[in-house]
A and B are shown apart, each in its own frame.
Chain A
Amino acid sequence: MAVKYYFYPLWLRFWHWLNAVLCILLILTGLSMQYSNPDFPFMRFDLAVSIHNITGILLTASYLIFLVGNMITGNGRYYHLNLRTISTELMKQFKYYTLGLFRGEKPPFPINEKRKFNPLQKISYAVVMYVFIPLLIITGWALLFPEITIHDVFGVSGLHLTDLLHLIIGFFVSVFLIVHIYFSTIGATPLSHFKAMFNGWHKTHD
C-alpha cells in the first residue's frame, strides 16, 4: 500500500531548486575557467568570472536558508549520523542497490516519518551539505578577496592551495550531483522523486 509523507515543505523545495540552479551554473562556469582555452572558448572568461562570483554569493545566501531552515523546522534531524552503526548500515544499503534491487527485495531501510533518507542518502547529503558546501563557500570567498588569503605557505602561494582545495571539492560536488540525480530516478516510478520535490509529497514504493 502506498503511503504519502509531506517531506518537502515549501521553503525546502524553494531552497532546493535555487540551490540546484546555482550549483549547475557554478560548475559550468568553474569548468570553463579552469580549462579556459583561447581556441575553443566555451564562454568568455570575464563573463564566466562574473557569473561564478555572483552565483557564489547567492549560493552563500541560499546555504544560510538551508542552515536556518534545518535548525528551526526540525528537518535537520534527518541528517544526524549515528557513527557507530553507519558503516554496517551503508553496507546493507549498498548491497541493496547492487543486488537486492534487481532481485526485487524490499529496501532494508524503508522510508517513514522518522527516516526520510536511507543511510547512503543520509551520509552523502550530510557530508555534502555540512562539509563540502561550507568548505567551498569559505575557499570561494577567500578567492574573491585574495588580499585576505594567507599569502605564503612554505613557499607556495596560499591562493594556490586555496584554489586547489576549492577545485577538488568542486569536483566531488559535481560527482555527487550526477549520482544524486541518477538515484533520484530510483523511486516508485523514475519520475516520482522529482514530482515529490515539486509538490512536497513523497510516495513510498508500492
Chain B
Amino acid sequence: MMIKGMRIQALIWMFFFMIANAGLFAQQTDSIPENVKENQKCLKCHGNKYYSYYNDWVEGDVRERMNPFYVIDSAEYYNSNHKTFTCIDCHSYEYEEFPHPGYLRMEPSYSCMDCHGFGDEWAKFNFEEIQSEYEKSIHSQKHNETFSCWMCHNPHEYKISARTEENIKEVIAYDNAICLNCHADIDEFMFIAERENPNVLETHDWLPNQALHFKSVRCIECHAEQSDTLLVAHNILPKEKAVKKCVECHSDNSLLMASLYRYQAKEERNKAGFFNSALLGEYYVVGANRNYYLNLISIVLFGLVVLGIGVHIVLRIINK
C-alpha cells in the first residue's frame, strides 16, 4: 500500500517538477535557485559534522555530533544529477520537524524506476534494461534485501559521467571509485555481506602493471556482461566469469571498443592508418593499436631483405 502511494506521489511530483522547472530556467541566471534556500533548512544540520537545536527540556541550545553517514556534502549535492531537487522531494516533509518523528525511519525510499520508469525523456538511458540487467547481477542475486541502485548511485552525489565527460581517465576514476567504495572498504562491504572483503589488489595480482590497468580500464570492463544497447553494462557477473584473458583487450578487436571507448570508436582505421584509433589519444594498448602503413612497410622491407638474401644464395651456388 505504502509503496503504491509513493508511486502516485512520484507521478504527481514529476508533473509539478516539469512545470516548476520551466519557470526555474527563466530566472535561474540572477537568483539563487529556490531549492537551495529550501534545502538549507536540512543542510544546516545535515551539511555539517555538528548541529545544534533548541532543547525544550533543558531550555537551551544543545550542540551535538552528526552521524557521519548522515552528513551530506552540499558541493557534491549541487553538482549531482538531482541538484535541482529539494530534500523533501525524496524525503517526507515531516523531516522538517526535529527531533524527526520516529515512524519516519520506516519510510521506504523511492527507487529510480519510480521516476525514470516512464516518459521519453529518459529513453536514451534505457532504464528498463538497466533494471533487468541489474536484477541478473551477482549483487542483486545474492543480496536482494539490502542492495539497490542507490548503493552505487549515491542519492546525494551521483553525477552522470561516462555519457558526458570527455576525459576518459576521469570516467574511469569516477566509475571505479563506485566499486571501490565497498570493495576497498571493510565496513561498507560488511554492511551487505557478513564477511571480510578480499583485498582487491591481492585478488588481482595476476594482472601486470596493475596500477596502470586500474587507471586505464574500469572494473566493469572485466566484471560486467557487455550489452549492445546499454552504454554502461550493469550485469556484474560472478567472479568465475570475469575477463581474465589478456587478448580480450590486447588484440585488434579489443572489447574496449565496445565498452569503454564506445562513443569514440567510430571508425575502424583512421587517416594515419591506426587501427582502433580511438585508443590513441590517451592510451597505448599493446596488440590493439596497429598501424596499417607501418605493417605494410615492414612486410615489404622484410620481403625485400629475404629476397635479396635468396638471390645472393642462388648466385653463390651458381658461381661455386
Residues of A at under 8 Å CB distance from B? 33-38, 41, 45-46, 49-50, 53, 97, 101-102, 104, 146-147, 155-157, 159-160, 162-164, 167-168, 171, 174-175, 178-179, 182, 186
Contact = CB atoms under 8 A, between A and B. Distances in A.
A183 B214 CA distance: 47
A50 B316 CA distance: 42
B119 interface: no
A168 B294 contact: yes
Contact of A33 (B282, B286, B291): B286
Contacts of B250: 33, 36, 45
A157 B280 contact: yes
Interface string B108-150: 0000000000000000000000000000000000000000000
A156 B279 CA distance: 10
Interface residues of B, number: 33
Contact of A160 (B248, B280, B302): B280
B245 A45 contact: yes
A102 B316 contact: yes
A38 B284 contact: no
A40 to B, nearest CB: 10
Interface stretch (B61-69, B179-187, B204-212, B218-226): B204-212
Interface string B219-251: 000000000000000000000000001111011
A102 B247 contact: no
A21 to B, nearest CB: 22
A102 B287 contact: no
B299 to A, nearest CB: 10
Contacts of A102: 315-316, 319
Nearest to A46: B246
Given A102-B319, A160-B280, A38 B305 contact: no
Contact of A175 (B208, B246, B305, B316): B305
Contacts of B306: 178
B301 A175 contact: yes
B274 to A, nearest CB: 9
Contacts of A101: 316, 319
B209 to A, nearest CB: 6
A160 B284 contact: yes
B281 interface: yes
Given A33-B287, A45-B247, A101-B319, 19 more contacts: A36-B246, A37-B247, A37-B251, A38-B248, A49-B208, A49-B246, A50-B208, A102-B315, A102-B316, A104-B319, A146-B209, A147-B211, A156-B281, A160-B283, A160-B289, A163-B284, A167-B294, A171-B298, A175-B301
